[in-house]
Structures are given as structure tokens and as C-alpha cells.
Structure 1
């Protein structure tokens, strides 16, 4: 079975006010050290994996901001990956890009190196809200980034959006959706803002400098996104993700279908050979282990069958098609309806899930209450 491969680039020009991901200010010295360690990690996996395990159906370079690296660095990363892993002929190769860190030359270079999908972190098309989020770009730069990507030859573009931002109105959100659809991206991801503890934005809300988006308004924004994007021809295939038919994100489907993947780079997570594990978070610890030729990781968990079944449920229910009863039985040798009989009975009685043919899935009522459903399977 072909794996998914994730590469974490831990640098940003500036950390956004809502972000609690592992990222560090970009410097050329730090980037050179990171690149040397990452290349070493890729090479070590070359001697660790057998040939079947090297087959790769999706490659996702995320962060951080991968496009704050020089194009030469990204080209070197892609070249090293190709020398070790066997990318399938139709392998989806995605790079995350932020407006303000990409130009026409860089985009042409990415496309020439074989990157066939670009994920652009637009987040909003309202300048005031971009400032609230602490983004380094404005709305005009976001639009320019999409147009330049098209001119560079990208025919598979994702646009990331955020709703539920303090100060955001339903009308402003609708305008962002309308302008996004006008760009004609193949994929749109719309996420509700999470006020993560300790972030500058969360602290601003906590001390009363700004008000959090009311829960009812955020729910209205979610429903507005569903209506607008479906009306514009997008398939709502995952709680927060919408795609033109056949343009669903292959890499994210690896996660939602609970399939094996490897994560390389500091703080990257993997699920492979029946284990879930993570790399060192601190760059220096990550680099020092690799200098010693070690692939040992910071955290490791051996997955029991019960854990794998649980994860298959709460990840798979993120997909609107739901969890396949037949696939569950084939994978685990047990009927989903028997393993989770009481949970399904309770959720169905509450109108949150239903069995439709071969799939257990969320109902329309269950969609905005998905986290409540997932807790039943944790």
C-alpha cells in the first residue's frame, strides 16, 4: 500500500497571532542547518524502509511556511525525496504557500520541479481581518498569488479560509466566499478559528481587547460556506473541505482513512508499521539525533487493535460519506455494527448519525456537532 509523506518546514517570516503550531523565525543559517538535517533524515529512511514501503501516493510539504525557503532549497528537498522514495505516476505533490512569500519566478520553478498542487493560505480577503490574524499579506496580494499560480501552470489549487474571526460579520464572510469562488480554485478548505491558549489573539480576547465571535454567528458562517460552495459546484466531502469532483485532497484522505503515513522534519508525526510516533520538537535536538545517524523519535505509541478501530471511526466520520462497514470488517475482521452497537444506537437515537447503505455517517444535524459524535469513539 502506497504511503503518504509529509515534510514539515518549521519557518515563518512572522508567526500569526492565532497560531500555536511549531514554527520559528526564518534565518538563512537556521534554514541551512534544517536542510542538512532533513536530507539526512530522508537518506536514513532510505536504508530503513523496504522497497514496497517507499511507494508514495502523496507528498505534502507544509509548515510553517515552506515558500519562505529559497526555491533552491525546495528543489533540493524534492530531488532527495525522488532519489529515495518511489513516487507513483499520479502522486499528488502539494506545497503550502503564503501570499507575500511567492512570486512568478518561484511559482514557475515549483511547477517545473513537479509540484502539481498548491495550497494557498489566503485565510481572509478583508484587510482588517488579516491584520487581526497577524498575517503578513493583504487581500490584493492574496488575489495576485492565485492569479500568478494559474499563470505558472498550476491546475490544482487549494485556498484556505478562516471564519469566526473576532470582528468578522456574516456579510464580510459572504464576500470572501464570493471572491474565492471567482478565483475558481479546485479546492477550498474553510476552518472555524480556534482560539488556542497562550496565543496573542487568545490573550487579546481574554483581556477584553476584542470580542470572540459568538457561537451562533460562527455556526451561521459554517452553514453559509456549505450553501455557497455547494451552489458553486463544489463537493462537500469532509467537515471543512470542499472540492471540484475528482479534486479531493489525496494526502488528507490518507489521514481521514487512517492509512499509513510518514512525517519528516522537526515535530512531524507519523503512523507507520502499527505505531504512532513523533519527531523531536526542538530543532537542535532533531538535528543532533540525525547527526548521530539516529531515527529515534521523541514519542512512540504501539497501536492496539482497539486504538486503530477507534481512530478509524473518529477520523473516518469527518468524511461526509462516512465509514465503510465493509472496509471496517475487511480491515479488522469484525462488524462495525457489533463493535460499536451501543454508541451507534445512542447517536442514531439523537439524530446525529445514520447508516446509509454501506456507510455509517454524520447526519445534517450531526455535522456541526461532530466533536460530540467523535467523543463516543475515543
Structure 2
């Protein structure tokens, strides 16, 4: 076990597209939540000792919505309770405009060495339309402060296929984002999820989205522009200067194990998928009673592990290595998934290259369809 995800489910404002486990910050038992989050880490580290942790990722919600006192308490505990010695990757998610210089200094002082900013767009009109509270100038100011304090490993999240967004809108956002010269960018198309504001608007016929062709054009432009700027696409939605790939996210895509701490967090330990209760009252109450707040567990079969190896690993541009698959599972990938490999290769969506099976450029546009082909009956 070498990775941990920590969930802070509080936000100053709820974005219209977000379906993560989150709560409006005002009026919530934030201090009590942090106490119990630390207790969960203590219990888990006592039950499942880990010699060294190479990646820690704090997400949400908005972790930097915590006040400075709460933030420092969380940071100090992470460095005390978890076996992270500072040599690995320590990431915090943050929002432009909501992350003060004081909070950035705290993060830096406690060894956070990677920031992931949820920018989404440089178009103020679109930011308002998707429920974001920051604006274009906040991005420049916050990233300038982060660099001044000493952060160099900075990632930016962007979105496309937003309501009313044109190809030119997205081109302008890409131009501004790339002009900042960051070493890592993530960019995702909007997916309308149940229990979101956008889902309700769509059901009422009040949400105008770009066509599928327009969405494909945006994704194609994204890949081309990133390549022009020397950023390697290493996963369907992620681009980096070589050496700045997200080590934590690669744990997921490599189908490796990790701890998950916090309300609604997921973990993968010794072949078992675990998910925590999302409701704050239930999460806090279980830990007050000395119990881990696990809602569900699922012990994976060998078949499920092989399926996940494929549809997680194929997200990476390098794909899934034939030799690695055989060493991990004791069987030949081409025997287990003969039908899927044949069909998707003939359709031009998969290719064999350098000892790996991987998506073609065309396959990246139809990734979900490819992944579904690897579900064994």
C-alpha cells in the first residue's frame, strides 16, 4: 500500500455539474469532521500498517475551504499519522480566488508539493453559467501567488462541451491556459450526472449543450494543442511535461491499491473495494463509537480484477502491457479477451504497439465503448 486519498467534502458554493460527495460549508460540523477524519486515519494505520506512503491526495469538495486553523490541523495530522516522509507526491485540490496566500504558505510549509486548481474555463460568462464563483483574473492571481511561494508542480483542470460553449470559446480558454506554462493539465468533457442542478435543468429542457460533433472537435483540438506545446498525453484526459504526470492518479489507472479516508471516500485494500458512508452524521457517529465508517465492501474475483486492469489501464496512452498482464494474472491477455481485442482492433480503436495493447487516437474518442467490450460475460 503506497497511496492515500483524503476527502474534505465542504464547499463554499455548489457547482451545477458536481456529483461528488459534498456539503455547503456554512453550518456544518467541520471541526468535528476533521477530528473524526484523523481518528479514521489512526484506526486504519493501526489495523493496516504501511511502511511508506509515496502519494497523498487531498480532494473534495474543496479542501482549501477550511479555515487556516482547520487546514493546519489537518496538514499536521497527515504528516504525523500517515507514513509519508516528504519524498513522494503530496497533492491538494484548490479553487482559484478562494485560496489565500496564507493558506498557500501553510500548504507549502507542511510539504504539499503539488496543487490542482479547478479552473474549468477562462470565460467569465461560462464560469457563471456552470456555477463557479471565481473569475478569469482570479486564476492568474492565485497561480502567481502559488509560484511566488515556491510551488512549481501545478495542475489545471479544464472542461469542455459546456452549455453554450463554442469551439472558439474553448480555443480561447486553451490559449490562455497554455500561456501560463504549467507542467500539467487535465481536461474533461461535461457529463450530466443525476442529482446535480444541470441534470434537473436538462430534464426540464432548459440546458443547451454542444452537439456530439462539436464535443469531438473540442477534444481533437485539445489533443493537438497540448502536443504543440510539448505536453504529452499520458491518459485520455491528462497531459504533462515528462516527469510531471500525476503519480497518485497513476495508482488508480495502474489498478493498484490505496487507502480512502473521509465521508464518501473509496479505497482498494488487499483485493477488496471499500466505500465509506457519505452522510456526515453517519460517518462521524461510527467513528465516535470507535468503528471504521465503511458502508460497503466487495472482494473482487480474478475475473473482475482482469476486467478492471483493462478498462483502467487502457485509459493510459501506453495501454496495458501483455507481459505485465501475464505476470499479474498468470494468463495471456489475448486468450482472456480474444473477442474484444479482435473486434476493437478491426474497428481501428485498439492497436498493439511496443508490447502493449492501447487505444488508437480514434479509440480515445470512443473510450467508454472500448472499455465495455472488456466486460466478461
Regarding TM over 0.5, the answer is yes
Is 1:353 the equivalent of 2:353? Answer: no
Q: Residue 200 of structure 2 aligns with which residue?
A: 203
C-alpha distance in 1 between matches for 2:357 and 2:217: 26
SS in 2 for 1:93: strand
CA contact (8 A) 1:71 1:110 kept: no
SS in 1 for 2:88: strand
C-alpha distance in 2 between matches for 1:46 and 1:367: 39
Deviates most, 64-73 or 235-244: 64-73
| Structure 2 gap ranges (5+) | none
Is 1:308 the equivalent of 2:284? Answer: no
C-alpha distance in 2 between matches for 1:362 and 1:33: 46
Q: Residue 178 of structure 2 aligns with which residue?
A: 181
C-alpha distance in 2 between matches for 1:71 and 1:4: 25
Is 1:221 the equivalent of 2:208? Answer: no
- TM-superposed CA distance for 1:3, in Å, is 1.8
Deviates most, 330-339 or 269-278: 330-339
Aligned with residue 66 of structure 1, among 59, 63, 66 = 63
TM-score (ref. length: structure 1): 0.96
- TM-superposed CA distance for 1:88, in Å, is 4.8
- TM-superposed CA distance for 1:78, in Å, is 2.6
SS in 2 for 1:366: helix
Q: Residue 364 of structure 2 aligns with which residue?
A: 367
1:165-220 CA distances to partner (integer Å, 9 max, x unpaired)?
Answer: 01111111111001001111110000000111342223223323331111110110
Is 1:130 the equivalent of 2:127? Answer: yes
- TM-superposed CA distance for 1:106, in Å, is 1.4
Matched residues, number: 375
Q: Residue 27 of structure 1 aligns with which residue?
A: 26
Q: Residue 159 of structure 1 aligns with which residue?
A: 156
Aligned with residue 266 of structure 2, among 264, 269, 284 = 269
C-alpha distance in 2 between matches for 1:27 and 1:132: 23
- The structure 1 segments of at least 4 consecutive aligned residues displaced by more than 4 Å after TM superposition are none
CA contact (8 A) 2:158 2:188 kept: yes
Aligned with residue 279 of structure 1, among 243, 254, 276 = 276
SS in 2 for 1:87: coil
Is 1:290 the equivalent of 2:290? Answer: no
Is 1:325 the equivalent of 2:319? Answer: no
SS in 2 for 1:300: strand
Is 1:44 the equivalent of 2:43? Answer: yes
